[in-house]
A and B are shown apart, each in its own frame.
Chain A
Amino acid sequence: MTFALEIKNLCKSFGGIKVTQDVSFSVKPGERRLIIGPNGAGKTTLFNQISGELKPDSGSIKVFGEDLTFQPVHRRAHAGVSRTYQIITLFPKDTLLHNVVLSLLGVSNRRFQAFSPLTVNDELFEKAESILDSVGLTGSGHLAAGEISYGEQRRVEIAVAMAQSPRLLLLDEPLAGLSQDERIIVRDLVAALPKTTTIVMIEHDMDVALAFAEQIAVLHYGSLIVEGDRETVVNHPRTREVYLGH
């Protein structure tokens, strides 16, 4: 079978520090995969290699059978990879609608259009509006992304990523810094994402993370130490040792 994401023997060092050590794992289409590990375990570094912002030293990354190991970042979006950032990375001066429209443009050939106004593309704006609806931001499309609350910005992050109808979505700590109420909103939002999108998520909130994940991988000092379903991983002595701390 073709895996949604297949990582083989991935290695990456910064100077003498090995941040990714021979990591291999595969994610099935439609799967919800969680990556956990203490701070500095190399989770975000792993994400940056999957999304292409960092080049691995060795190993390979395949998405739906396509080898993306050395493809530039923008090509990966066209291969169906989308991501959110741990630190909000939106266009703060632009409206929410514009943020989502840019995302839609990114995977549309209309992005090369230089002679007609952006605003004549009604269907792009309508689609963007419906995507904002789907993350509970109905009627907020005209607000600037920098003016809305942090929790709402998190939701726009997800809207921007989902606008591209990705086959593989990488969520980097989507709940980071949210209040309890906002956590519930974003958690439900992530849970409701369509199964046509395979999701790999980094998350520290164990309650939410464990409820969400079907398969879990534990990273520690750049190595994958435990992998398996919820029960296996939670009950594994190594997990308790490095992550749960008892």
Chain B
Amino acid sequence: MNRIGILLGLVFLALLPLVSGEYFVNLGSQILIAVIFASSLNLLVGYAGLTSLGHASYLGLSAYISAWLSIKMGLDHSVTAPAALLLTTLIGMVFGWIALRATGLGFLMLTLALSQIVWGLGYRWVSVTNGDNGLSGLTRPHPFGIDLDISNNFYWFVLIITCACIYMIHVMIRSPFGASIRGTRDQARRMSALGFNVWAIRWTTFVIASFIGAVAGLMYVYFHKYIHPSVMAITVSAEALLCVIAGGSGTLVGPLLGAFVVVVLKNYASAYVERWNMLLGLVFLFIVIFMPAGLVSAVAVWKDRFKSGSKT
């Protein structure tokens, strides 16, 4: 039943470009990129219980590294993509090592501080990042000769990557290692006493989250073919956190719903209201007050009501 639902959903998503216009296809690609990004953050926030306010660093770093290697070094996508993922993950290792000196608020502040450094470098290190002008003139890759400059192709490409990322997270979370991640969230003290190296579990989760965040960064820079330091700003980190919490942290589907709502709202509201951030804030308030466990929990409640309603 559940599997059929997932399959139908996938078929629907895969067929979308055939029935909708280019605008919606591009919107779909943006939503999918936000889904990858929010899902990577959810690993930290939802499963490991480590609230980070600096996740945009990994999206930005990977985008910048890939852009810089291709513009300044003239390297091909087949080199820049793995290099960007690898380097960003390495930076994630170092940042994780620093940030995990603390948990809770201390961790949040450290991730924020580190991401502000990266953001500052993006603006100020003009010789590398081109500062406020950003890096432009980028291209999309042509994997197996497929032209990703065609919106439909790009959408399918991102859809496959998104599915791969979510599947990877799903496999990891239901594994023994995943159980230990959740254990360190719920009862860190007991986990140590049981023989789990809590620090190493958290650090590994942090590194995996930064890797998937880097994947989102690659998709981001391929989509826009342009990168600007503002992508590493605290607002981007906060927006991802909003996707996770609004959708339902610690669930696989939560970040999907959250990213959908946030990106759609952003695109539509910004067309009509200048201060769409305020609207986003209001929606967030509404969700937090009326469905504190996120949209996922609300959907589950409605489903139950519907079921019990149809029985009587």
Interface residues of A (CB under 8 A from B): 51-53, 72-75, 77-78, 82-83, 85, 89-94, 98, 101-103, 105-107, 110-119, 121, 160, 164
Q: Which residues of B contact A112 (CB under 8 A)?
A: 176-177
Provide the bound-state CA to CA distance between A123 and B102, in Å: 37
If A74-B197, A77-B194, A91-B183 touch, whether A119 touches B174 (CB-CB below 8 Å) is yes
Check if B171 sits within 8 Å of A115, measured CB to CB: yes
Contact with A along B170-199 (1 / 0, CB 8 A): 011011111110010011011111111110
Complex partner residue of A110 from B172, B176, B197, CB under 8 angstroms: B176
A sample of 5 inter-chain contacts (CB < 8 A) reads: A92-B186, A105-B179, A106-B196, A112-B177, A114-B175
A-B contact count (CB 8 A): 91
Provide the bound-state CA to CA distance between A160 and B189, in Å: 14
If A90-B187, A91-B183, A93-B186 touch, whether A113 touches B175 (CB-CB below 8 Å) is yes
Q: Which residues of B contact A73 (CB under 8 A)?
A: 192-193
A26 to chain B, nearest CB (A): 23
Q: Which residues of A contact B187 (CB under 8 A)?
A: 89-91
Chain B interface, >50% SS class: helix
Provide the bound-state CA to CA distance between A85 and B171, in Å: 33
Q: Which residues of B contact A118 (CB under 8 A)?
A: 174-176, 178-179
Check if A121 sits within 8 Å of B176, measured CB to CB: yes
Q: Which residues of A contact B171 (CB under 8 A)?
A: 114-115, 117
A59 to chain B, nearest CB (A): 21
If A53-B189, A89-B189, A90-B187 touch, whether A113 touches B176 (CB-CB below 8 Å) is yes
Check if A111 sits within 8 Å of B180, measured CB to CB: yes
Q: Which residues of B contact A101 (CB under 8 A)?
A: 179
Check if A103 sits within 8 Å of B175, measured CB to CB: no
Provide the bound-state CA to CA distance between A199 and B198, in Å: 26
Check if B174 sits within 8 Å of A77, measured CB to CB: no
If A94-B186, A102-B183 touch, whether A114 touches B194 (CB-CB below 8 Å) is no
